[in-house]
């Protein structure tokens, strides 16, 4: 599904990301772990063509992302609050994304009903604009919005950060469900090794912009990663 | 302590994303400032002798119209003078006293050009008064009173900026007062000139403006100090949100989706709301030029024609795509093509221009020729200026902070001097065309030239669009990066 070739990104001579080759097959749930500055967000931004690669390129479902816009219809992402429109209510935001992804109101309502538990009664019909929601609640909106229109690639940057413990376990359930779908490729980044190991079938660890571990998740994975990141 | 603030200010200025463009604008602004300084200086020196030659008592005559001078000053301030924005939140928990923070904010406004400008009028005028043998102490006290009034306006501007709709109410009041005077119903200067004369002739009356100034300072100080809390002036007001479907726009497909969004953008953010109100004021701009005996050169009519229908284009369109700056990465990664995004903005401008043209049909009272000028202006706006605005947008990298979390300390002025300067090039070409046409044959040929330019722009729309799209694409990464920086 996603092929990375000779990808690197440098700012003023400092290389912040360098991935010679990486292949993410269709249907995989892919976890990206690493310390601050390891290059996780940089990688996702490159994948979404928000920044330009210094060398190499990424191919998303046979579309080279920095030359064509055709990856947009099947890719959904939530990186940070800049993916939310502050002056809309959550409902309006969902319908807006739905319109862009060719979904009608009923489709969206069905999706929202399905995730009512995840929202915990704090999102819908609350007479608040997105800008007035707490960080955690904003994140809930952003995450569910990526599910609109059955995208084939879902990219979530730090989805577990800022969420309360109950929501984290609900989110894990949602991501596991997505992972079971052979048509959906999920990419998740996190600082939290345990959460990532739980939901992803493959973990890649980045350190200073380079891939230092690439493992299929097994019973020993968490221990192995903890060993690696311990000083 | 103050040095630390100045250090922060300097860093904020030199490190902002729009530093390059800001510097260019600041240089132009510098020229404009020098120009106005010159005008005020000339007025200050010339007023006395000019009025004397007309066999009027200069001081009395100046005092008579000072009320309008100060009202006009306040109006211009409300429109243009920015309230200095400081990044206050991080300072609160640091060892600065609250009064220091407030006083520095206030101090910054006092150094504004809008205050110093008046020195160039009042100082030479006062000196001329002294030279002409007026009583020294009286002149000094009068001058002191004037300075106090200038600074009172400075504080009024701070206080009023934080209230909604003040500018509209203020403008209406001034128009009514001036209208009454013009038609000799009621002459406000009869009453105010007594006051201003008193400032000169009665020794103790200068205390009024000075005390007013102290009162206003104290009010501003306490107002800002009270608001210096995260849940007061530095907080966002939480409005009660209502979900709106605007389903009637669904029939326009993707365009409708964006229009829905833009309508909500305009309705729900103060900054964009003010912008649209401003664009309505543009509608009445023509009254200056189309009146009979307006004393304006004929060539300027096309200028007015373009302004009347182009209010929205100049105030809102100018800042596309900055309006979407806070969620630009979303727009760039969602299922939207650049073309769709741009054309939705273009349509928004076109629709607004069209509505303005219909609304301005009241100019028909001045005859067909005048309305034709406006229609031609609208054609030019749709055909050429709408594209120019979008093109300029590709290089506008100043993020607009719609959410303005700074409350009482935030910059809410939508219409600023730089926006006005940016609109000048869009007016020069049609004036040239109009001038060319009217010097070859007559004004109708001038109008035809402008209209043809508009129609040509419209005809080559697709070509122009793909060019603009390319520019947006190459600028995309820089724009995303620049929008990440909050002022």
For chain A, domain boundaries:
2-84+151-229
My answer on whether B180 and B257 are in the same domain is no
Does residue B410 have a pLDDT over 50?
no
Positive or negative: CA dihedral B275, B279, B282, B284? negative
Chain B residues lying within 8 Å of A102, measured CB to CB? 335
Domain boundary among B226, B261, B294: B226
Does residue B409 have a pLDDT over 60?
no
Does residue B408 have a pLDDT over 50?
no
Predicted confidence band of residue A78 (pLDDT cuts 50, 70, 90): very high
Cross-chain residue pair A77–B244, CB shorter than 8 Å = no
Residues of chain A with pLDDT > 70: what percent?
100
Query: Is residue B10 one of the residues assigned to a domain?
Result: no
ipTM of the complex: 0.87
Domain boundary among B160, B195, B226: B226
Find out whether the peptide bond into B182 is cis, omega within 30 degrees of 0. Answer: no
Chain A to chain B Cβ contacts (< 8 Å): 92
My answer on whether B210 and B293 are in the same domain is no
Q: Does A83 touch chain B (CB under 8 A)?
A: yes
- Asked if B308 and B360 touch (Cβ cutoff 8 Å), the reply is yes
Residue predicted with more confidence, B248 or B387? B387
Q: Give the contacts of B10 (CB within 8 A, at least 6 positions apart).
A: none
Query: B16 exposed, middle or buried (CB, 10 Å; 0-12, 13-18, 19+)?
Result: middle
My answer on whether B418 and B282 are in the same domain is yes
Q: Does A97 touch chain B (CB under 8 A)?
A: yes
3-state secondary structure B353-368: HHHHHHHHHHHHHHCH
Cross-chain residue pair B329–A73, CB shorter than 8 Å = no
pLDDT of residue B197: 85
Q: What is the pLDDT of residues B52-68, one digit of tens each?
A: 888 778 888 888 888 88
Q: Tell me the H-state helices in B162-187.
A: 166-182
pLDDT (average), residues B188-192: 79
Query: 3-state class of A202 per DSSP?
Result: strand
Total tally of structural domains belonging to chain B: 2
- In the beta sheet, which residues pair with residue A21? A5
Query: Is residue B136 one of the residues assigned to a domain?
Result: yes
pLDDT of residue B58: 81
User: Which H/E stretch holds residue B421?
Assistant: helix B417-423
Query: Is residue B275 one of the residues assigned to a domain?
Result: yes
User: Which H/E stretch holds residue A212?
Assistant: strand A210-216
Chain-centroid distance, C-alpha A163: 15
Residue predicted with more confidence, B49 or B353? B353
Closest among B377, B373, B348, B379 to B456, alpha carbons compared = B379
Q: What is the pLDDT of residues A130-175, one digit of tens each?
A: 988 889 999 999 999 999 989 999 999 999 988 999 999 999 999 9
Query: Is residue B1 one of the residues assigned to a domain?
Result: no
Closest among B374, B343, B368 to B466, alpha carbons compared = B343
Please state, as a whole number, how many other Cβ atoms lie within 10 Å of the Cβ of residue B354.
Answer: 14
- CA B140 – CA B123 distance, rounded (Å): 10
pLDDT of residue B407: 42
pLDDT (average), residues B435-440: 86
Query: 3-state class of B162 per DSSP?
Result: coil
Q: Give the contacts of B408 (CB within 8 A, at least 6 positions apart).
A: B162, B223, B224, B227, B232, B233, B234
- Asked if A185 and A24 touch (Cβ cutoff 8 Å), the reply is yes
pLDDT of residue B84: 60
Nearest-10 Cα torsion for B369, B371, B376, B378: 170
Q: What is the pLDDT of residues B236-280, one digit of tens each?
A: 556 677 777 777 777 777 788 888 888 888 888 877 877 787 788
- CA B70 – CA B152 distance, rounded (Å): 10
* Region for residue B407 given its phi and psi (left: phi exceeds 0; alpha: psi -120 to 50; beta: otherwise): left
Predicted confidence band of residue B293 (pLDDT cuts 50, 70, 90): low
Chain A residues lying within 8 Å of B264, measured CB to CB? 87-88, 92
Which chain A residue is nearest to residue B476, measuring alpha carbons?
A50
Domain boundary among B161, B194, B226: B226
pLDDT (average), residues B284-305: 76
pLDDT of residue A222: 87
My answer on whether B280 and B422 are in the same domain is yes
- Asked if B123 and B44 touch (Cβ cutoff 8 Å), the reply is yes
Q: How many Å lie between the alpha carbon of B432 and the closest alpha carbon of chain A?
A: 41
Nearest-10 Cα torsion for B292, B297, B299, B303: -70
Q: Does B252 touch chain A (CB under 8 A)?
A: no
My answer on whether B211 and B262 are in the same domain is no
Q: Does A146 touch chain B (CB under 8 A)?
A: no
The segment with the largest mean pLDDT, out of A50-64, B98-112, B182-196, is A50-64
Q: What is the pLDDT of residues B124-180, one digit of tens each?
A: 888 888 888 888 888 889 899 999 999 999 988 888 877 766 777 887 888 888 888
Chain B residues lying within 8 Å of A123, measured CB to CB? none
pLDDT of residue A104: 87
Query: Is residue B47 one of the residues assigned to a domain?
Result: yes
Mean of all residue pLDDT scores within chain B: 81
* Region for residue B297 given its phi and psi (left: phi exceeds 0; alpha: psi -120 to 50; beta: otherwise): beta
My answer on whether B395 and B461 are in the same domain is yes
Positive or negative: CA dihedral B248, B250, B252, B257? positive
Please state, as a whole number, how many other Cβ atoms lie within 10 Å of the Cβ of residue B108.
Answer: 17
Does residue B404 have a pLDDT over 60?
no
Q: How many Å lie between the alpha carbon of B223 and the closest alpha carbon of chain A?
A: 25
Q: Does A92 touch chain B (CB under 8 A)?
A: yes
My answer on whether B192 and B86 are in the same domain is yes
Query: Is residue B18 one of the residues assigned to a domain?
Result: no
Query: Is residue B26 one of the residues assigned to a domain?
Result: no
My answer on whether B129 and B168 are in the same domain is yes
My answer on whether B98 and B161 are in the same domain is yes
Between strands A2-11 and A14-24, the pairing is antiparallel
Q: Does A59 touch chain B (CB under 8 A)?
A: no
Predicted confidence band of residue B455 (pLDDT cuts 50, 70, 90): very high
pLDDT of residue B417: 60
My answer on whether B208 and B265 are in the same domain is no
pLDDT of residue B405: 42
A24: DSSP letter = E
Q: Give the contacts of A70 (CB within 8 A, at least 6 positions apart).
A: A63
Q: Tell me the H-state helices in A14-89.
A: 40-47
- Asked if B35 and B161 touch (Cβ cutoff 8 Å), the reply is no
My answer on whether B76 and B221 are in the same domain is yes
What CATH topology corresponds to A2-84+151-229? Answer: Rossmann fold (3.40.50)
pLDDT of residue A111: 92
pLDDT of residue B487: 45
pLDDT (average), residues A81-91: 90
Chain A residues lying within 8 Å of B334, measured CB to CB? 72, 97, 100
* Region for residue A114 given its phi and psi (left: phi exceeds 0; alpha: psi -120 to 50; beta: otherwise): alpha
My answer on whether B413 and B474 are in the same domain is yes
Residue predicted with more confidence, B80 or B77? B77
pLDDT of residue A109: 92
Q: How many Å lie between the alpha carbon of B317 and the closest alpha carbon of chain A?
A: 19
Chain B residues lying within 8 Å of A75, measured CB to CB? 333
Residue predicted with more confidence, A19 or B49? A19
Comparing CB atoms, the residue among A83, A85, A99 nearest residue B257 is A99
Query: A57 exposed, middle or buried (CB, 10 Å; 0-12, 13-18, 19+)?
Result: middle
User: Domain containing B48: what range?
Assistant: 35-226
Query: Is residue B90 one of the residues assigned to a domain?
Result: yes
């Amino acid at each position: 599904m996603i092929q990375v070739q000779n990808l690197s990104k440098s700012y003023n001579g400092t290389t912040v990301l360098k991935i010679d080759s990486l292949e993410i097959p269709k249907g995989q749930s892919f976890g990206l772990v690493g310390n601050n500055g390891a290059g996780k967000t940089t990688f996702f931004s490159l994948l979404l063509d928000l920044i330009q690669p210094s060398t190499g390129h990424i191919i998303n479902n046979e579309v080279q992302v920095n030359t064509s816009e055709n990856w947009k219809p099947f890719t959904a992402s939530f990186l940070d609050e800049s993916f939310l429109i502050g002056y809309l209510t959550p409902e309006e935001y969902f319908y807006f994304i739905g319109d862009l992804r060719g979904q009608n109101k009923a489709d969206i309502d069905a999706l929202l009903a399905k995730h009512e538990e995840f929202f915990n009664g704090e999102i819908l019909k609350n007479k608040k604009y997105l800008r007035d929601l707490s960080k955690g609640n904003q994140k809930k909106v952003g995450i569910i919005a990526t599910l609109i229109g059955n995208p084939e690639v879902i990219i979530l940057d730090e989805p577990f950060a800022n969420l309360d413990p109950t929501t984290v376990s609900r989110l894990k359930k949602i991501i596991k469900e997505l992972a079971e779908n052979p048509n959906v490729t999920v990419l998740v980044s996190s600082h939290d090794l345990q959460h990532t190991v739980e939901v992803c079938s493959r973990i890649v660890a980045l350190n200073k912009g380079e891939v230092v571990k690439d493992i299929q998740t097994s019973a020993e994975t968490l221990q192995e990663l903890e060993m690696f990141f311990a000083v | 302590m103050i040095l630390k603030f100045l250090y922060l200010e300097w860093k904020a200025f030199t490190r902002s994303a729009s530093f390059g463009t800001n510097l260019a604008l600041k240089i132009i602004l510098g020229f404009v400032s020098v120009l106005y300084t010159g005008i005020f200086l000339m007025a200050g020196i010339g007023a006395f002798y000019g009025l004397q030659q007309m066999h009027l008592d200069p001081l009395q005559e100046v005092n008579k119209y000072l009320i309008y001078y100060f009202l006009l000053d306040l109006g211009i301030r409300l429109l243009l003078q920015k309230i200095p924005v400081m990044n206050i939140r991080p300072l609160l928990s640091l060892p600065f006293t609250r009064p220091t923070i407030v006083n520095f904010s206030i101090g910054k406004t006092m150094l504004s050009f809008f205050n110093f400008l008046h020195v160039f009028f009042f100082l030479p005028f006062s000196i001329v008064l002294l030279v002409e043998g007026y009583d020294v102490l009286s002149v000094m006290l009068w001058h002191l009173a004037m300075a106090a009034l200038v600074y009172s306006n400075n504080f009024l501007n701070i206080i009023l900026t934080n209230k909604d709709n003040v500018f509209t109410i203020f403008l209406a009041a001034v128009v009514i007062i001036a209208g009454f005077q013009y038609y000799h119903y009621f002459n406000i200067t009869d009453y105010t000139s007594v006051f201003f004369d008193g400032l000169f002739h009665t020794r103790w009356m200068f205390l009024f403006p000075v005390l007013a100034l102290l009162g206003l300072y104290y009010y501003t100080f306490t107002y800002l100090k009270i608001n210096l809390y995260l849940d007061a002036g530095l907080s966002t007001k939480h409005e009660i949100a209502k979900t709106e479907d605007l389903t009637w726009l669904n029939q326009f497909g993707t365009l409708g989706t964006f229009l829905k969004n833009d309508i909500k953008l305009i309705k729900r953010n103060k900054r964009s709301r003010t912008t649209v109100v401003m664009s309505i004021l543009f509608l009445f701009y023509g009254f200056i030029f189309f009146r009979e005996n307006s004393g304006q050169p004929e060539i300027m009519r096309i200028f007015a024609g373009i302004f009347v229908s182009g209010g929205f284009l100049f105030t809102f369109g100018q800042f596309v795509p900055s309006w979407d700056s806070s969620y630009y990465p979303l727009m760039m990664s969602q299922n939207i093509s650049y073309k769709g995004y741009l054309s939705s903005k273009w349509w928004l401008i076109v629709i607004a221009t069209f509505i303005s043209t219909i609304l301005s049909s009241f100019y028909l009272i001045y005859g067909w020729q005048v309305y034709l000028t406006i229609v031609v202006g609208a054609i030019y706006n749709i055909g050429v200026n709408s594209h120019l605005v979008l093109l300029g947008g590709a290089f506008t990298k100043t993020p607009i902070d719609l959410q303005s979390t700074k409350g009482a300390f935030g910059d809410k002025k939508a219409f600023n001097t730089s926006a006005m300067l940016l609109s000048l090039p869009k007016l020069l070409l049609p004036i040239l065309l109009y001038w060319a046409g009217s010097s070859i044959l007559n004004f109708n040929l001038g109008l035809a030239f402008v209209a043809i330019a508009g129609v040509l722009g419209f005809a080559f729309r697709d070509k122009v669009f793909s060019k603009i799209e390319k520019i947006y694409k190459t600028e995309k990464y820089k724009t995303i990066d620049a929008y990440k920086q909050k002022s």
